[in-house]
Amino acid sequence: MKKDLGLVQAVYPMPVLMVAAYDENGKVNVMNVAWGQICDDDKIILFIGEGKKTWLNIKASHAFTVSLADQAHMDAADFFGIASGNRITDKFERTGYHAVKSDKVNAPVIEEFPVVMECELLEFLESDHVSGIVGRIVNVKAEEAVLSENGKVDPLKLHALIFDQFQSGYYVTGARVGQAWNAGAALMKKK
């Protein structure tokens, strides 16, 4: 029997996305965003509240990067989520991390995170119920250490963080248990 839990953000797992953008002076800011998702073959949506430092930077620069946080960099990834760039002006510098300018968009690539999507701003979505940023993914870069033999990102090498809203925990991806678009194929056959 199921027990009522009340209002809980009951989507699991959630990504741990590091969103980075330059401000009007070229200063790097990074924000930890769990509420984001791919929304088309070449588009990503991030649900970031209006007025947040990263939101303001993306509005000014029209570009951003989205990195996948990994277990090796969990402390900094968490810090990027609990520290506000509007209040802590040396937020990025405190981590000792390094950024280089993307060669595809006007946004910083954080060198420590192993996979990064380089994005250009398409639009801000604002309504009474949602604040979203839609970006077009221009390119994806990945460290060779997280690639499989076929040249694609291997989740078992990536050790990507996932966020658990039930217990407020970070976890890493685990074992592969099936093949997508195949595990349910037998049910396609008419009985």
- Taking residues 43-59, report their average pLDDT: 94
Q: Number of H helices and number of E strands within the chain?
A: 4, 12
- Residue 32 pLDDT class (50, 70, 90 cuts): very high
Specify the amino acid at residue 115: V
Q: Is residue 167 part of a domain?
A: yes
pLDDT of residue 104: 98
Rg, the chain, Cα only = 18
- Which one is predicted more confidently, 18 or 173? 18
Residue 191 pLDDT > 90: no
pLDDT higher than threshold 80 for residue 4: yes
Closest to 169 measured CA to CA, from 45, 65, 34: 34
User: At 91, which CATH number?
Assistant: 2.30.110.10
Q: Which domain holds residue 167?
A: 14-183
Q: What is the mean pLDDT of residues 18-34?
A: 96
Query: Tens digits of per-residue pLDDT, 60-83?
Result: 999 999 999 999 999 999 999 999
Mean pLDDT of the chain: 94
Q: Identify the pLDDT of residue 170.
A: 95
pLDDT for 190 beyond 80: no
- pLDDT of 11 reads 87
Burial 59-72 (b: 16+ CB within 10 A, else e): eebebbbbbbbbee
Task: Give the number of domains in the chain.
Answer: 1
Q: What is the mean pLDDT of residues 108-134?
A: 96
Q: Is residue 157 part of a domain?
A: yes
Residue 132 domain-assigned (yes or no): yes
**Does any domain span residue 62?**
yes
pLDDT at 20 over 80: yes
Task: Specify the range with the lowest mean pLDDT, choosing from 10-14, 25-29, 96-100, 156-160.
Answer: 10-14
| Residue 1, domain member (yes or no) | no
